[in-house]
């Protein structure tokens, strides 16, 4: 279910090809159960609504996963780059 903070298809078409160059390389771990789009939707939901991470809707990835990625991507400057592109 899309939220007002969710990426539109048009926004995703712009961001998706840029993600490999913007997002920091991930250490070799098991494959993610969540797409980058789902993770970004979780991050944008929290940023727009200002809710606690634990209060993310249950149809988004688990808050701990979303928050972990947010911390990594924020520290690398990726969140700022993505927001400026959007």
Q: Report how far residue 64's alpha carbon sits from residue 26's, in angstroms, rounded to the nearest whole number.
A: 17
**H helix runs in 1-86, sequence order:** 9-15, 19-22, 36-49, 63-75, 78-85
**Percentage of the chain modeled with pLDDT above 90:** 81
The percent of residues in the chain predicted with pLDDT above 70, rounded, is: 98
pLDDT tens per residue, range 12-42: 999 999 999 999 887 767 778 899 999 999 9
> Does the pLDDT value for residue 1 go beyond 90?
no
Distance CA 28, CA 34 (A): 16
Chain mean pLDDT for the chain:
92
């Amino acid at each position: 279910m899309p939220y007002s903070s969710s990426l539109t298809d048009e926004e995703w078409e712009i961001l998706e090809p840029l993600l490999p160059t913007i997002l920091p390389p991930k250490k070799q771990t098991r494959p993610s159960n969540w797409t980058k789009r789902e993770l970004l939707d979780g991050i944008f939901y929290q940023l727009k609504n200002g809710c606690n991470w634990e209060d993310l809707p249950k149809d988004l990835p688990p808050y701990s996963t979303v928050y972990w990625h947010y911390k990594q991507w924020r520290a690398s400057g990726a969140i700022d780059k993505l927001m400026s592109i959007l």
